[in-house]
Amino acid sequence: MIIAERKPLAEIVEMTRNHENILVLGCRGCVTVCSAGGEREVELLASLIRLGAKKEGRKITVQEGVLVRQCDKEYVDSLDSWKNGYDAIVSMACGVGVNFIANLRPSTMVYPGVNTTFFGGSQDQGVWTEQCAGCGNCVLHLTGGLCPVARCAKSLMNGPCGGSQNGKCEIHSEVDCIWQMIHDRLERLDRKEQMLEVAPIRDWRTAGHGGPRKTTRDDLTV
């Protein structure tokens, strides 16, 4: 899922300072699962914005709403049926949601309520770790299913850097060296010889270095 975390309140208050009627809009997708922008977090942010404005003696109306997803036109369109007016939206979806509202609502001001951080999974309750970099050219079949692009601090493609100690990364001592894990896993699976295969110089254009990416499925378009 896409992981996000709420922006500092001061930043949100500052960006919305000139608005008197704000809609704090959550998303029931990834940000609900990672507890950054679901219904509960919308309730909290709305409360904090109201309290902050009251402290400054500003009058403000803060409404709360949640869409099924903010990354699909159909759901963003449901904003049309929003009965009460608003002069700005604070989206608590990932950056995709903010962009979609900006794309589809040319005259609506939209602000990000969260910082979108990475593609990750829930390692433990309340702990999420990065697992995929969305680089567009997956090599997991060569690395035992463990990603060196996302999980190596240097995104090395041909084994460890030599700086790891006791199986831990030299950049972040609490993080497992992913190349150590790849080695141990391939050995366990009796596929250690895969490590000898030299990965060629990587073409990073698929990773967004060639501009915004797009996927079109002809079988799905009408």
Nearest approach in angstroms of CB 98 to another protein is: 21
**Which CB sits closer to another protein, 57 or 212?**
57
Q: What track of x and - describes contact with another protein for positions 161 through 190 (by CB under 8 A)?
A: ------------------------------
**Which CB sits closer to another protein, 107 or 125?**
125
Q: CA separation (Å) from 143 to 24, 101, 126, 152, 180?
A: 42, 38, 28, 12, 11
Instruction: Write out the E strands in the chain.
Output: 2-6, 21-27, 61-67, 88-91, 110-112, 114-124, 127-132
Nearest approach in angstroms of CB 84 to another protein is: 19
Nearest approach in angstroms of CB 8 to another protein is: 7
Q: CA separation (Å) from 15 to 8, 9, 89, 162, 209?
A: 11, 10, 11, 45, 30
**Which CB sits closer to another protein, 14 or 77?**
14
Nearest approach in angstroms of CB 16 to another protein is: 15
Q: What track of x and - describes contact with another protein for positions 31 through 70 (by CB under 8 A)?
A: ---------x--xx--xx-xxx-xxxxx------------
Pairwise CA distance, residues 91 & 111, whole Å: 6
Count Cα neighbours of 80 within 13 Å in the Cβ-side half-sphere.
8
If binding means CB under 8 A, how many residues of this protein chain bind another protein? Answer: 16
Residues that bind another protein (CB under 8 A): 8-10, 40, 43-44, 47-48, 50-52, 54-58
